[in-house]
Structure 1
Protein backbone atom coordinates (compact mmCIF):
# COMPACT_ATOMS: atom_id res chain seq x y z
CA UNK A 1 0.00 0.00 0.00
CA UNK A 2 1.36 3.43 -0.94
CA UNK A 3 2.28 5.40 2.20
CA UNK A 4 0.13 8.44 2.89
CA UNK A 5 2.83 10.26 4.90
CA UNK A 6 6.56 10.52 4.25
CA UNK A 7 8.68 11.20 7.33
CA UNK A 8 12.08 12.71 6.51
CA UNK A 9 14.76 12.47 9.18
CA UNK A 10 18.33 13.64 8.69
CA UNK A 11 20.81 12.01 11.06
CA UNK A 12 24.39 12.73 12.04
CA UNK A 13 26.15 10.88 14.89
CA UNK A 14 23.02 10.39 16.99
CA UNK A 15 23.39 6.70 17.86
CA UNK A 16 22.77 7.56 21.54
CA UNK A 17 19.37 9.18 20.85
CA UNK A 18 17.92 7.90 17.57
CA UNK A 19 16.50 4.57 18.78
CA UNK A 20 14.12 6.37 21.16
CA UNK A 21 13.03 8.62 18.31
CA UNK A 22 12.32 5.69 15.98
CA UNK A 23 10.38 3.85 18.68
CA UNK A 24 8.17 6.92 19.15
CA UNK A 25 7.48 6.90 15.41
CA UNK A 26 6.56 3.21 15.54
CA UNK A 27 4.04 4.01 18.29
CA UNK A 28 2.07 6.36 16.04
CA UNK A 29 -1.65 5.61 16.07
CA UNK A 30 -1.65 6.37 12.33
CA UNK A 31 0.39 3.61 10.71
CA UNK A 32 0.44 4.28 6.96
CA UNK A 33 3.79 6.06 6.70
CA UNK A 34 7.30 5.65 5.36
CA UNK A 35 10.36 7.07 7.11
CA UNK A 36 13.60 7.96 5.33
CA UNK A 37 16.53 8.12 7.75
CA UNK A 38 19.12 10.05 5.75
CA UNK A 39 22.69 9.80 6.99
CA UNK A 40 24.66 13.03 6.56
CA UNK A 41 28.09 11.38 6.68
CA UNK A 42 28.13 10.38 10.34
CA UNK A 43 31.05 8.45 11.82
CA UNK A 44 29.41 6.69 14.77
CA UNK A 45 27.55 3.35 14.87
CA UNK A 46 24.07 4.69 14.09
CA UNK A 47 23.44 2.11 11.36
CA UNK A 48 24.38 -0.79 13.64
CA UNK A 49 22.28 0.54 16.51
CA UNK A 50 19.12 0.83 14.38
CA UNK A 51 19.74 -2.38 12.37
CA UNK A 52 17.17 -4.44 14.37
CA UNK A 53 14.48 -1.80 13.70
CA UNK A 54 15.32 -1.67 9.99
CA UNK A 55 15.10 -5.47 9.80
CA UNK A 56 11.78 -5.70 11.64
CA UNK A 57 10.00 -2.69 10.13
CA UNK A 58 10.25 -2.15 6.37
CA UNK A 59 8.65 1.29 6.65
CA UNK A 60 12.06 2.59 7.74
CA UNK A 61 14.81 3.06 5.16
CA UNK A 62 18.39 4.05 6.01
CA UNK A 63 19.92 6.02 3.14
CA UNK A 64 23.16 7.92 2.53
CA UNK A 65 22.84 11.49 1.34
CA UNK A 66 24.12 11.52 -2.27
CA UNK A 67 27.01 13.85 -3.06
CA UNK A 68 24.73 15.77 -5.43
CA UNK A 69 23.15 17.32 -2.30
CA UNK A 70 25.19 19.60 -0.03
CA UNK A 71 26.13 18.32 3.42
CA UNK A 72 23.74 19.49 6.13
CA UNK A 73 20.07 19.35 7.12
CA UNK A 74 18.77 21.16 4.01
CA UNK A 75 20.57 18.81 1.61
CA UNK A 76 19.29 15.73 3.45
CA UNK A 77 15.75 17.06 3.52
CA UNK A 78 15.82 17.97 -0.16
CA UNK A 79 16.96 14.45 -0.98
CA UNK A 80 14.06 13.11 1.07
CA UNK A 81 11.61 15.40 -0.70
CA UNK A 82 12.84 14.21 -4.09
CA UNK A 83 12.17 10.54 -3.30
CA UNK A 84 9.06 10.93 -1.11
CA UNK A 85 6.07 8.73 -1.99
CA UNK A 86 3.56 10.13 0.49
CA UNK A 87 0.90 12.74 -0.22
CA UNK A 88 1.99 14.49 2.99
CA UNK A 89 5.44 15.44 4.29
CA UNK A 90 6.74 15.82 7.82
CA UNK A 91 10.27 16.42 9.13
CA UNK A 92 11.45 14.85 12.39
CA UNK A 93 14.83 15.27 14.07
CA UNK A 94 16.93 12.30 15.17
CA UNK A 95 17.08 13.19 18.87
CA UNK A 96 13.45 14.04 19.73
CA UNK A 97 10.26 12.28 20.81
CA UNK A 98 6.96 12.34 18.90
CA UNK A 99 3.51 12.18 20.48
CA UNK A 100 1.67 8.97 19.43
CA UNK A 101 -1.24 10.99 17.98
CA UNK A 102 0.96 13.36 15.96
CA UNK A 103 0.17 12.05 12.49
CA UNK A 104 -3.40 10.98 13.10
CA UNK A 105 -4.47 14.29 14.62
CA UNK A 106 -2.61 16.49 12.11
CA UNK A 107 -4.04 14.56 9.17
CA UNK A 108 -7.58 14.69 10.48
CA UNK A 109 -7.32 18.47 10.88
CA UNK A 110 -5.97 18.90 7.35
CA UNK A 111 -8.69 16.73 5.86
CA UNK A 112 -11.39 18.54 7.82
CA UNK A 113 -10.15 22.06 7.05
CA UNK A 114 -9.00 21.37 3.47
CA UNK A 115 -5.79 23.35 3.95
CA UNK A 116 -2.15 22.83 2.96
CA UNK A 117 -0.45 22.50 6.34
CA UNK A 118 -1.09 21.96 10.04
CA UNK A 119 1.15 23.51 12.70
CA UNK A 120 1.07 22.03 16.20
CA UNK A 121 2.89 22.89 19.43
CA UNK A 122 6.14 21.51 20.82
CA UNK A 123 7.66 21.25 24.28
CA UNK A 124 11.28 20.87 25.34
CA UNK A 125 12.66 18.17 27.64
CA UNK A 126 16.09 17.28 28.98
CA UNK A 127 16.58 14.25 31.22
CA UNK A 128 13.14 12.73 31.79
CA UNK A 129 11.16 11.65 28.75
CA UNK A 130 7.93 13.61 28.24
CA UNK A 131 4.53 12.53 29.45
CA UNK A 132 1.98 12.21 26.66
CA UNK A 133 -1.41 13.83 27.19
CA UNK A 134 -4.62 13.43 25.26
CA UNK A 135 -6.12 16.86 24.69
CA UNK A 136 -9.12 18.20 22.87
CA UNK A 137 -7.99 19.55 19.50
CA UNK A 138 -8.58 23.30 19.32
CA UNK A 139 -7.95 25.39 16.23
CA UNK A 140 -6.17 28.54 17.35
CA UNK A 141 -6.10 30.38 14.03
CA UNK A 142 -5.75 30.09 10.27
CA UNK A 143 -2.33 30.96 8.86
CA UNK A 144 -1.74 32.59 5.48
CA UNK A 145 -0.02 35.55 3.84
CA UNK A 146 -2.21 37.96 5.83
CA UNK A 147 -0.50 37.04 9.10
CA UNK A 148 2.92 36.26 7.63
CA UNK A 149 4.41 39.02 9.79
CA UNK A 150 3.98 36.84 12.89
CA UNK A 151 5.96 34.05 11.20
CA UNK A 152 8.70 36.44 10.09
CA UNK A 153 9.22 37.87 13.59
CA UNK A 154 8.80 34.33 14.98
CA UNK A 155 5.80 35.22 17.10
CA UNK A 156 4.48 32.07 15.43
CA UNK A 157 7.33 29.60 15.66
CA UNK A 158 7.11 27.25 12.70
CA UNK A 159 9.96 25.00 13.79
CA UNK A 160 11.14 22.45 11.26
CA UNK A 161 9.42 19.56 13.03
CA UNK A 162 6.12 21.15 14.05
CA UNK A 163 4.30 21.12 10.72
CA UNK A 164 2.58 18.46 8.61
CA UNK A 165 2.64 19.60 4.97
CA UNK A 166 0.63 18.70 1.92
CA UNK A 167 3.30 17.60 -0.56
CA UNK A 168 2.09 20.19 -3.09
CA UNK A 169 3.75 22.86 -0.92
CA UNK A 170 7.10 21.50 -2.10
CA UNK A 171 6.32 21.03 -5.78
CA UNK A 172 8.59 23.95 -6.73
CA UNK A 173 10.15 24.83 -3.36
CA UNK A 174 13.20 23.31 -1.71
CA UNK A 175 15.40 24.23 1.24
CA UNK A 176 18.40 26.46 0.52
CA UNK A 177 21.24 23.99 0.95
CA UNK A 178 23.87 26.64 1.67
CA UNK A 179 22.08 27.53 4.92
CA UNK A 180 23.20 25.76 8.10
CA UNK A 181 20.72 27.48 10.42
CA UNK A 182 17.28 29.12 10.00
CA UNK A 183 16.79 27.15 6.77
CA UNK A 184 13.26 26.11 7.76
CA UNK A 185 12.31 29.69 8.72
CA UNK A 186 13.41 30.94 5.30
CA UNK A 187 11.80 28.03 3.42
CA UNK A 188 8.47 28.14 5.26
CA UNK A 189 8.18 31.90 4.66
CA UNK A 190 8.56 31.21 0.93
CA UNK A 191 5.79 28.61 1.11
CA UNK A 192 3.31 30.85 2.95
CA UNK A 193 4.17 33.93 0.87
CA UNK A 194 3.43 31.82 -2.24
CA UNK A 195 -0.21 31.57 -1.19
CA UNK A 196 -0.43 28.29 0.74
CA UNK A 197 -2.77 28.41 3.72
CA UNK A 198 -2.66 26.41 6.92
CA UNK A 199 -4.00 26.08 10.43
CA UNK A 200 -2.51 26.25 13.93
CA UNK A 201 -3.78 23.84 16.57
CA UNK A 202 -3.33 23.92 20.34
CA UNK A 203 -2.08 20.37 20.83
CA UNK A 204 1.48 19.61 21.91
CA UNK A 205 2.52 16.80 19.58
CA UNK A 206 6.32 17.08 19.48
CA UNK A 207 9.00 17.05 22.18
CA UNK A 208 12.45 18.42 21.38
CA UNK A 209 15.41 17.28 23.41
CA UNK A 210 17.58 20.08 24.81
CA UNK A 211 21.31 19.42 24.70
CA UNK A 212 24.43 21.52 23.94
CA UNK A 213 25.17 19.89 20.56
CA UNK A 214 21.95 20.92 18.82
CA UNK A 215 21.99 23.55 16.06
CA UNK A 216 19.80 25.83 18.17
CA UNK A 217 22.08 25.56 21.20
CA UNK A 218 25.08 26.36 19.00
CA UNK A 219 23.32 29.41 17.56
CA UNK A 220 22.52 30.82 21.00
CA UNK A 221 26.14 30.19 21.98
CA UNK A 222 27.10 32.58 19.14
CA UNK A 223 28.54 29.88 16.92
CA UNK A 224 29.81 31.94 13.94
CA UNK A 225 28.67 29.39 11.33
CA UNK A 226 25.09 29.28 12.68
CA UNK A 227 25.00 33.06 13.12
CA UNK A 228 26.29 33.70 9.58
CA UNK A 229 23.60 31.34 8.28
CA UNK A 230 20.84 33.32 10.06
CA UNK A 231 22.22 36.51 8.51
CA UNK A 232 22.14 34.90 5.07
CA UNK A 233 18.61 33.63 5.69
CA UNK A 234 17.43 37.14 6.59
CA UNK A 235 18.78 38.45 3.29
CA UNK A 236 17.01 35.68 1.36
CA UNK A 237 13.72 36.47 3.11
CA UNK A 238 14.09 40.18 2.33
CA UNK A 239 14.74 39.35 -1.33
CA UNK A 240 11.75 36.98 -1.51
CA UNK A 241 9.32 39.48 0.05
CA UNK A 242 10.64 42.23 -2.23
CA UNK A 243 10.15 40.07 -5.33
CA UNK A 244 6.59 39.26 -4.26
CA UNK A 245 5.96 42.98 -3.58
CA UNK A 246 4.91 42.35 0.02
CA UNK A 247 7.92 43.88 1.79
CA UNK A 248 6.17 46.46 3.96
CA UNK A 249 7.81 49.12 6.13
CA UNK A 250 6.83 47.00 9.14
CA UNK A 251 8.86 44.09 7.77
CA UNK A 252 11.74 46.35 6.85
CA UNK A 253 11.96 47.94 10.30
CA UNK A 254 12.17 44.49 11.81
CA UNK A 255 14.95 43.32 9.49
CA UNK A 256 17.00 46.49 9.93
CA UNK A 257 16.72 46.20 13.69
CA UNK A 258 17.89 42.59 13.37
CA UNK A 259 20.84 43.73 11.27
CA UNK A 260 22.29 45.50 14.28
CA UNK A 261 23.00 42.07 15.83
CA UNK A 262 24.79 40.94 12.65
CA UNK A 263 27.17 43.85 12.11
CA UNK A 264 30.11 41.49 11.58
CA UNK A 265 28.37 40.15 8.46
CA UNK A 266 27.48 43.59 7.05
CA UNK A 267 23.82 42.60 7.00
CA UNK A 268 22.49 46.16 6.95
CA UNK A 269 24.56 47.11 3.89
CA UNK A 270 23.48 43.89 2.15
CA UNK A 271 19.80 44.64 2.84
CA UNK A 272 20.12 48.18 1.47
CA UNK A 273 21.92 46.88 -1.65
CA UNK A 274 19.25 44.21 -2.22
CA UNK A 275 16.43 46.75 -1.97
CA UNK A 276 17.93 49.11 -4.61
CA UNK A 277 16.46 52.12 -2.82
CA UNK A 278 16.34 55.67 -4.03
CA UNK A 279 18.70 58.18 -2.43
CA UNK A 280 16.05 59.57 -0.07
CA UNK A 281 14.86 56.15 1.15
CA UNK A 282 18.41 54.91 1.53
CA UNK A 283 19.21 57.92 3.75
CA UNK A 284 16.00 57.37 5.73
CA UNK A 285 16.90 53.79 6.60
CA UNK A 286 20.55 54.63 7.24
CA UNK A 287 19.42 57.16 9.85
CA UNK A 288 16.96 54.63 11.27
CA UNK A 289 19.80 52.11 11.64
CA UNK A 290 22.26 54.67 13.01
CA UNK A 291 19.93 55.89 15.76
CA UNK A 292 18.46 52.49 16.64
CA UNK A 293 20.79 51.99 19.68
CA UNK A 294 19.79 55.42 21.00
CA UNK A 295 16.09 54.61 20.70
CA UNK A 296 16.70 51.26 22.35
CA UNK A 297 18.47 52.93 25.27
CA UNK A 298 15.71 55.52 25.70
CA UNK A 299 13.07 52.79 25.59
CA UNK A 300 14.82 50.75 28.32
CA UNK A 301 15.28 53.92 30.41
CA UNK A 302 11.57 54.68 30.10
CA UNK A 303 10.67 51.16 31.21
CA UNK A 304 12.86 51.51 34.30
CA UNK A 305 11.27 54.85 35.21
CA UNK A 306 7.74 53.50 34.77
CA UNK A 307 8.44 50.38 36.82
Structure 2
Protein backbone atom coordinates (compact mmCIF):
# COMPACT_ATOMS: atom_id res chain seq x y z
CA UNK A 1 0.00 0.00 0.00
CA UNK A 2 1.26 3.48 -0.82
CA UNK A 3 1.33 6.21 1.81
CA UNK A 4 -1.22 8.25 -0.07
CA UNK A 5 -4.25 6.37 -1.49
CA UNK A 6 -5.63 7.82 -4.70
CA UNK A 7 -9.26 6.83 -4.08
CA UNK A 8 -11.09 6.94 -0.74
CA UNK A 9 -14.18 4.74 -0.50
CA UNK A 10 -16.65 5.94 2.14
CA UNK A 11 -19.03 3.35 3.61
CA UNK A 12 -21.58 4.81 6.06
CA UNK A 13 -23.33 2.14 8.09
CA UNK A 14 -26.43 2.32 10.24
CA UNK A 15 -28.30 -0.92 10.98
CA UNK A 16 -26.85 -2.54 7.86
CA UNK A 17 -24.33 -4.88 9.51
CA UNK A 18 -25.92 -7.95 7.91
CA UNK A 19 -24.92 -6.63 4.46
CA UNK A 20 -21.58 -5.05 5.36
CA UNK A 21 -19.40 -8.09 4.60
CA UNK A 22 -20.71 -8.23 1.04
CA UNK A 23 -20.10 -4.53 0.45
CA UNK A 24 -16.56 -4.63 1.84
CA UNK A 25 -15.72 -7.82 -0.02
CA UNK A 26 -16.60 -6.03 -3.27
CA UNK A 27 -14.05 -3.37 -2.29
CA UNK A 28 -11.36 -5.92 -1.45
CA UNK A 29 -11.84 -7.59 -4.84
CA UNK A 30 -10.98 -4.45 -6.81
CA UNK A 31 -8.35 -4.86 -9.53
CA UNK A 32 -7.11 -1.33 -8.69
CA UNK A 33 -5.24 -1.44 -5.38
CA UNK A 34 -4.40 2.16 -4.45
CA UNK A 35 -7.43 2.81 -2.27
CA UNK A 36 -8.52 3.19 1.33
CA UNK A 37 -11.94 2.33 2.68
CA UNK A 38 -13.38 4.28 5.60
CA UNK A 39 -16.23 2.48 7.36
CA UNK A 40 -18.32 5.10 9.17
CA UNK A 41 -20.39 3.69 12.02
CA UNK A 42 -23.19 6.26 12.37
CA UNK A 43 -24.02 5.29 15.95
CA UNK A 44 -25.42 1.97 14.76
CA UNK A 45 -26.98 -0.21 17.50
CA UNK A 46 -26.11 -3.48 15.71
CA UNK A 47 -22.73 -5.25 15.44
CA UNK A 48 -21.26 -2.92 12.81
CA UNK A 49 -18.14 -2.28 14.89
CA UNK A 50 -17.43 -5.98 15.37
CA UNK A 51 -17.64 -6.69 11.64
CA UNK A 52 -15.64 -3.59 10.69
CA UNK A 53 -12.83 -4.52 13.07
CA UNK A 54 -12.46 -7.92 11.40
CA UNK A 55 -11.96 -6.19 8.05
CA UNK A 56 -9.48 -3.72 9.51
CA UNK A 57 -7.40 -6.64 10.79
CA UNK A 58 -7.68 -8.41 7.45
CA UNK A 59 -6.39 -5.44 5.40
CA UNK A 60 -5.03 -2.16 6.76
CA UNK A 61 -6.57 -0.23 3.88
CA UNK A 62 -9.83 -0.55 5.80
CA UNK A 63 -10.32 2.04 8.56
CA UNK A 64 -13.08 2.21 11.15
CA UNK A 65 -14.66 5.49 12.30
CA UNK A 66 -17.49 5.91 14.78
CA UNK A 67 -19.72 8.91 15.38
CA UNK A 68 -22.99 9.87 17.01
CA UNK A 69 -25.97 9.14 14.80
CA UNK A 70 -26.65 12.03 12.46
CA UNK A 71 -28.01 10.54 9.27
CA UNK A 72 -26.58 9.56 5.91
CA UNK A 73 -25.34 12.99 4.79
CA UNK A 74 -23.66 13.56 8.13
CA UNK A 75 -21.97 10.14 8.01
CA UNK A 76 -20.65 10.66 4.49
CA UNK A 77 -19.37 14.13 5.36
CA UNK A 78 -17.64 12.75 8.45
CA UNK A 79 -15.91 10.00 6.51
CA UNK A 80 -14.77 12.31 3.71
CA UNK A 81 -13.33 14.68 6.31
CA UNK A 82 -10.78 11.95 7.16
CA UNK A 83 -10.30 10.75 3.58
CA UNK A 84 -6.74 10.99 2.26
CA UNK A 85 -7.57 10.20 -1.35
CA UNK A 86 -7.70 12.75 -4.13
CA UNK A 87 -10.91 11.12 -5.38
CA UNK A 88 -13.88 9.88 -3.34
CA UNK A 89 -16.38 7.06 -3.93
CA UNK A 90 -19.36 6.74 -1.57
CA UNK A 91 -20.66 3.19 -1.15
CA UNK A 92 -23.66 2.44 1.03
CA UNK A 93 -23.20 -0.54 3.34
CA UNK A 94 -25.92 -2.62 1.66
CA UNK A 95 -24.72 -2.10 -1.92
CA UNK A 96 -21.69 -3.41 -3.82
CA UNK A 97 -19.38 -2.58 -6.72
CA UNK A 98 -17.92 -4.73 -9.52
CA UNK A 99 -14.21 -5.56 -9.44
CA UNK A 100 -13.02 -3.21 -12.23
CA UNK A 101 -14.99 -0.12 -11.21
CA UNK A 102 -12.02 1.62 -9.57
CA UNK A 103 -9.59 0.59 -12.30
CA UNK A 104 -11.75 1.93 -15.12
CA UNK A 105 -12.47 5.15 -13.21
CA UNK A 106 -8.74 5.64 -12.65
CA UNK A 107 -8.12 5.12 -16.38
CA UNK A 108 -10.75 7.74 -17.19
CA UNK A 109 -9.19 10.22 -14.78
CA UNK A 110 -5.82 9.79 -16.49
CA UNK A 111 -7.34 10.17 -19.97
CA UNK A 112 -9.58 13.17 -19.27
CA UNK A 113 -8.15 16.03 -17.24
CA UNK A 114 -11.52 17.81 -17.28
CA UNK A 115 -13.60 15.02 -15.77
CA UNK A 116 -15.12 15.87 -12.39
CA UNK A 117 -17.70 13.10 -11.92
CA UNK A 118 -17.62 9.46 -13.04
CA UNK A 119 -20.31 6.81 -12.81
CA UNK A 120 -21.27 3.65 -14.71
CA UNK A 121 -24.04 1.25 -15.64
CA UNK A 122 -25.96 -0.22 -12.73
CA UNK A 123 -28.25 -3.06 -11.78
CA UNK A 124 -30.64 -3.89 -8.95
CA UNK A 125 -30.16 -6.99 -6.81
CA UNK A 126 -31.96 -8.48 -3.86
CA UNK A 127 -35.75 -8.41 -4.30
CA UNK A 128 -35.23 -7.12 -7.86
CA UNK A 129 -32.66 -8.22 -10.45
CA UNK A 130 -33.26 -5.95 -13.43
CA UNK A 131 -31.15 -3.15 -14.89
CA UNK A 132 -31.10 0.20 -13.07
CA UNK A 133 -31.98 2.34 -16.08
CA UNK A 134 -31.46 6.07 -15.70
CA UNK A 135 -31.85 8.91 -18.19
CA UNK A 136 -28.81 10.27 -20.03
CA UNK A 137 -27.15 13.06 -18.11
CA UNK A 138 -27.44 16.72 -18.94
CA UNK A 139 -27.62 19.46 -16.35
CA UNK A 140 -31.06 20.80 -17.30
CA UNK A 141 -32.56 17.33 -16.87
CA UNK A 142 -30.66 16.89 -13.60
CA UNK A 143 -32.62 19.82 -12.16
CA UNK A 144 -35.81 17.84 -12.73
CA UNK A 145 -34.74 14.29 -11.92
CA UNK A 146 -31.67 12.48 -10.66
CA UNK A 147 -29.93 10.22 -13.15
CA UNK A 148 -26.68 9.69 -11.22
CA UNK A 149 -26.67 7.19 -8.34
CA UNK A 150 -24.80 7.84 -5.09
CA UNK A 151 -21.80 5.56 -5.78
CA UNK A 152 -20.04 7.86 -8.24
CA UNK A 153 -16.52 9.29 -8.17
CA UNK A 154 -15.76 12.95 -7.45
CA UNK A 155 -12.77 14.99 -6.27
CA UNK A 156 -12.39 15.67 -2.58
CA UNK A 157 -11.34 19.25 -3.39
CA UNK A 158 -14.67 19.80 -5.20
CA UNK A 159 -16.52 18.27 -2.26
CA UNK A 160 -14.86 20.76 0.11
CA UNK A 161 -15.55 23.67 -2.22
CA UNK A 162 -19.32 23.05 -2.36
CA UNK A 163 -19.63 22.25 1.35
CA UNK A 164 -20.33 18.52 1.14
CA UNK A 165 -23.70 16.82 1.45
CA UNK A 166 -26.50 18.98 2.83
CA UNK A 167 -27.60 17.52 6.18
CA UNK A 168 -30.98 19.27 5.77
CA UNK A 169 -31.81 16.64 3.16
CA UNK A 170 -32.83 14.34 5.99
CA UNK A 171 -35.39 12.26 4.11
CA UNK A 172 -33.26 11.42 1.07
CA UNK A 173 -32.32 12.87 -2.36
CA UNK A 174 -29.13 14.12 -0.69
CA UNK A 175 -26.99 12.75 -3.52
CA UNK A 176 -29.23 14.46 -6.11
CA UNK A 177 -28.83 17.83 -4.38
CA UNK A 178 -25.09 17.25 -4.06
CA UNK A 179 -24.75 16.61 -7.81
CA UNK A 180 -26.60 19.84 -8.57
CA UNK A 181 -24.30 21.73 -6.22
CA UNK A 182 -21.22 20.06 -7.66
CA UNK A 183 -22.07 20.56 -11.33
CA UNK A 184 -23.86 23.91 -11.38
CA UNK A 185 -20.75 25.93 -12.25
CA UNK A 186 -19.76 23.61 -15.11
CA UNK A 187 -16.29 23.05 -13.68
CA UNK A 188 -15.74 19.81 -15.54
CA UNK A 189 -17.26 16.98 -17.52
CA UNK A 190 -19.45 14.09 -16.40
CA UNK A 191 -18.52 10.63 -17.67
CA UNK A 192 -20.54 7.43 -17.66
CA UNK A 193 -18.40 4.31 -18.04
CA UNK A 194 -19.61 1.62 -20.41
CA UNK A 195 -19.34 -0.91 -17.60
CA UNK A 196 -21.74 -2.56 -15.17
CA UNK A 197 -19.98 -1.47 -12.01
CA UNK A 198 -22.65 -0.75 -9.39
CA UNK A 199 -25.25 -2.97 -7.76
CA UNK A 200 -28.07 -1.35 -5.80
CA UNK A 201 -29.75 -3.58 -3.25
CA UNK A 202 -33.54 -3.65 -3.21
CA UNK A 203 -35.27 -4.83 -0.04
CA UNK A 204 -38.83 -5.31 1.11
CA UNK A 205 -38.34 -2.37 3.48
CA UNK A 206 -35.67 -0.14 4.98
CA UNK A 207 -34.42 1.43 1.74
CA UNK A 208 -34.19 5.22 1.96
CA UNK A 209 -35.13 5.75 -1.68
CA UNK A 210 -38.14 3.43 -1.34
CA UNK A 211 -39.30 5.26 1.79
CA UNK A 212 -39.13 8.73 0.23
CA UNK A 213 -40.73 7.63 -3.04
CA UNK A 214 -43.81 6.27 -1.28
CA UNK A 215 -44.15 9.20 1.15
CA UNK A 216 -45.55 12.29 -0.58
CA UNK A 217 -44.68 14.57 2.34
CA UNK A 218 -41.02 13.56 2.40
CA UNK A 219 -40.73 13.71 -1.38
CA UNK A 220 -42.37 17.15 -1.58
CA UNK A 221 -40.35 18.50 1.34
CA UNK A 222 -37.07 17.43 -0.26
CA UNK A 223 -37.92 18.72 -3.72
CA UNK A 224 -39.20 22.06 -2.38
CA UNK A 225 -36.06 22.46 -0.31
CA UNK A 226 -33.88 21.89 -3.39
CA UNK A 227 -35.86 24.39 -5.47
CA UNK A 228 -35.61 27.02 -2.74
CA UNK A 229 -31.89 26.44 -2.18
CA UNK A 230 -31.10 26.55 -5.91
CA UNK A 231 -33.85 29.01 -6.89
CA UNK A 232 -31.60 30.98 -9.23
CA UNK A 233 -30.76 27.83 -11.20
CA UNK A 234 -34.40 26.83 -11.48
CA UNK A 235 -36.00 30.20 -12.14
CA UNK A 236 -33.31 31.73 -14.36
CA UNK A 237 -33.09 28.79 -16.74
CA UNK A 238 -35.28 29.61 -19.73
CA UNK A 239 -36.13 25.93 -20.27
CA UNK A 240 -37.48 25.45 -16.77
CA UNK A 241 -39.84 28.19 -15.43
CA UNK A 242 -43.07 26.69 -16.84
CA UNK A 243 -42.10 23.22 -15.63
CA UNK A 244 -41.20 24.51 -12.17
CA UNK A 245 -44.47 26.44 -11.93
CA UNK A 246 -46.37 23.27 -12.75
CA UNK A 247 -44.36 21.40 -10.13
CA UNK A 248 -45.20 24.02 -7.52
CA UNK A 249 -48.90 23.82 -8.40
CA UNK A 250 -48.80 20.01 -8.40
CA UNK A 251 -47.08 19.90 -5.00
CA UNK A 252 -49.57 22.44 -3.59
CA UNK A 253 -52.55 20.38 -4.78
CA UNK A 254 -51.03 17.18 -3.41
CA UNK A 255 -50.48 18.88 -0.02
CA UNK A 256 -54.11 20.04 0.08
CA UNK A 257 -55.33 16.58 -0.88
CA UNK A 258 -53.13 14.94 1.78
CA UNK A 259 -54.44 17.31 4.49
CA UNK A 260 -58.03 16.66 3.41
CA UNK A 261 -57.47 12.89 3.54
CA UNK A 262 -56.04 13.18 7.06
CA UNK A 263 -59.04 15.23 8.21
CA UNK A 264 -61.46 12.69 6.73
CA UNK A 265 -59.55 9.83 8.34
CA UNK A 266 -59.58 11.60 11.72
CA UNK A 267 -63.31 12.23 11.52
CA UNK A 268 -64.08 8.66 10.44
CA UNK A 269 -62.01 7.26 13.30
CA UNK A 270 -63.72 9.51 15.84
CA UNK A 271 -66.05 7.59 18.16
CA UNK A 272 -68.67 10.34 18.26
CA UNK A 273 -68.72 10.50 14.46
CA UNK A 274 -69.43 6.77 14.30
CA UNK A 275 -72.40 7.10 16.67
CA UNK A 276 -73.83 10.11 14.80
CA UNK A 277 -73.36 8.32 11.50
CA UNK A 278 -75.34 5.31 12.75
CA UNK A 279 -78.12 7.59 14.06
CA UNK A 280 -78.25 9.38 10.71
CA UNK A 281 -78.47 6.08 8.82
CA UNK A 282 -81.27 4.91 11.16
CA UNK A 283 -83.27 8.12 10.78
CA UNK A 284 -82.83 8.31 7.02
CA UNK A 285 -84.12 4.78 6.79
TM-score interval, normalised by the smaller of the two chains: 0.7 to 0.9
The CA distance in 2 between the partners of 1:265 and 1:81, in whole Å, is 37
The CA distance in 2 between the partners of 1:56 and 1:227, in whole Å, is 44
Gaps of 5+ in 1: 132-140, 267-307
CA contact 1:231–1:265 (8 Å) conserved in 2: no
CA contact 2:41–2:64 (8 Å) conserved in 1: yes
The reply to whether residue 202 of structure 1 matches residue 191 of structure 2 is no
The reply to whether residue 123 of structure 1 matches residue 138 of structure 2 is no
Instruction: Give the secondary structure class of the aligned counterpart of 2:88.
Output: strand
Structure-2 change in CA distance of 1:94 and 1:186 (3 Å): same
1:18-29 → structure 2 map (5 Å cutoff): 18-29=20-31
Structure-2 change in CA distance of 1:84 and 1:51 (3 Å): closer
The reply to whether residue 216 of structure 1 matches residue 209 of structure 2 is yes
2:225 to 198, 215, 232: 232
Following superposition, the deviation at residue 8 of structure 1 comes to 1.0
Structure-2 change in CA distance of 1:261 and 1:128 (3 Å): closer
Structure-2 change in CA distance of 1:8 and 1:130 (3 Å): farther
Say what the alpha-carbon RMSD is for the aligned residues: 2.7
Residue range with higher mean Cα deviation, 15-24 or 47-56: 47-56
The reply to whether residue 160 of structure 1 matches residue 160 of structure 2 is no
Structure-2 change in CA distance of 1:254 and 1:44 (3 Å): same
The CA distance in 1 between the partners of 2:219 and 2:14, in whole Å, is 17
Deviation per CA, 1:267-291: give whole Å up to 9, x if none: xxxxxxxxxxxxxxxxxxxxxxxxx
Following superposition, the deviation at residue 122 of structure 1 comes to 1.4
Deviation per CA, 1:42-93: give whole Å up to 9, x if none: 111121233321211111112112x5xx811111111122221001111111
2:44 to 42, 45, 53: 42
The CA distance in 1 between the partners of 2:60 and 2:25, in whole Å, is 14
Instruction: Give the secondary structure class of the aligned counterpart of 2:240.
Output: helix
Give 1:251's aligned residue: 240
Instruction: Give the secondary structure class of the aligned counterpart of 2:92.
Output: coil
1:31-70 → structure 2 map (5 Å cutoff): 31-65=33-67
Structure-2 change in CA distance of 1:238 and 1:59 (3 Å): same
The CA distance in 1 between the partners of 2:129 and 2:38, in whole Å, is 24
Structure-2 change in CA distance of 1:102 and 1:52 (3 Å): same
CA contact 1:11–1:40 (8 Å) conserved in 2: yes
The reply to whether residue 86 of structure 1 matches residue 85 of structure 2 is yes
Q: How many residues align?
A: 246
1:175 to 165, 168, 181: 165
Gaps of 5+ in 2: 256-285
CA contact 1:218–1:226 (8 Å) conserved in 2: no
The CA distance in 2 between the partners of 1:116 and 1:56, in whole Å, is 32
Following superposition, the deviation at residue 201 of structure 1 comes to 2.5
Give 1:273's aligned residue: none
Structure-2 change in CA distance of 1:254 and 1:130 (3 Å): closer
